[in-house]
Amino acid sequence: MKIAFSAGSDKALDSPMSHHFGRCPYFTIVNLDEDNKIKETQNVANPFFESHSPGEVPAFIAKQNVDIMISGGMGQKAVDFFTEYGVKVATGATGTVKESLNKFLSGQLSGYSPCSHSDGNCN
């Protein structure tokens, strides 16, 4: 299983989670084995950090062969794009990437609640 996290820095598992996936500077991608043990972590710079059009970031993440995208927040259009690409979404992540990974694997972090563009937290 391959999971992407919206990260606020390039410190892999120690990166703080970003509140919005489209405007995060990095993605931390974690590749897990069949026992959910970490096989590999990778930092990928977000090429759309400065600016993006709808669908560009989900397409970029899908090209990384990611199964799940975890973020602090995400708009409904982005969720819809991820669904089209077959990438599952979980939002509401806080703390570090490692903390969010552990919450996800333990079932404490799942599903999504799309943020509203009008609340200022979803760009």
Q: How do residues 26-58 score in pLDDT, each as one tens digit? A: 999 999 999 999 999 999 999 998 876 778 999
Q: How do residues 62-114 score in pLDDT, each as one tens digit? A: 999 999 999 998 988 999 999 999 999 999 999 999 999 999 999 999 988 76
In a domain, 31, yes or no: yes
C-alpha to C-alpha distances, 57 to 62, 96, 103, 105, 106, nearest whole angstrom: 9, 21, 24, 24, 27
In a domain, 102, yes or no: yes
Total tally of structural domains belonging to the chain:
1
In a domain, 123, yes or no: no
CATH code where residue 99 lies: 3.30.420.130
In a domain, 35, yes or no: yes
- pTM greater than 0.85: yes
In a domain, 52, yes or no: yes
pLDDT computed for residue 120 by the predictor: 42
In a domain, 121, yes or no: no
Structural domain boundaries, residue 11: 2-114
